[in-house]
């Protein structure tokens, strides 16, 4: 399974071009509003709503490379085994994929 993460401090984010490419792959009609805000059905569409293992997101990031990176982001596609229960962890916006384990407090 492929997952998109941010490997630089600052946080995950897509450029406007990356977000538009993702929506094109998904077949979603979008428009650019004021300040290059991407809208779907006249509502702002934000990249944080995208599942990181979305095949359309992976395709957009792999296809565009650095052009898909948002401000303060350096995106990377990580390939993990399909049977792993995973989560994205971060420190100051720099992310990694971790296998989910049990924890107690």
Q: In the predicted model, what is the mean pLDDT of residues 45-60?
A: 97
Q: Are 74 and 6 in contact (CB under 8 A)?
A: yes
The secondary structure of residue 49, as a DSSP letter, is: G
Q: In the predicted model, what is the mean pLDDT of residues 51-76?
A: 97
* Confidence check: pLDDT of 103 > 80: no
Beta strands in 1-105 (DSSP E): 2-6, 31-32, 38-40, 43-44, 75-79, 86-91, 94-99
* Confidence check: pLDDT of 102 > 80: no
* Confidence check: pLDDT of 47 > 90: yes
pLDDT band at residue 105, thresholds of 50, 70 and 90? confident
Q: How far apart are CA 97 and CA 87, in angstroms?
A: 6
Task: Give this prediction's pTM.
Answer: 0.93
């Amino acid at each position: 399974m492929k997952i998109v993460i941010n490997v630089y401090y600052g946080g995950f984010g897509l450029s406007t071009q990356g977000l538009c490419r993702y929506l094109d792959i998904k077949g979603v009609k979008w428009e650019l509003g004021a300040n290059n805000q991407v809208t779907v059905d006249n509502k702002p569409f934000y990249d944080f709503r995208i599942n990181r293992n979305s095949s359309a997101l992976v395709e957009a990031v792999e296809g565009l490379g650095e052009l898909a990176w948002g401000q303060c982001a350096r995106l990377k596609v990580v390939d993990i085994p399909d049977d792993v229960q995973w989560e994205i962890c971060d420190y100051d916006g720099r992310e990694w994929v971790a296998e989910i384990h049990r924890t107690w407090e």
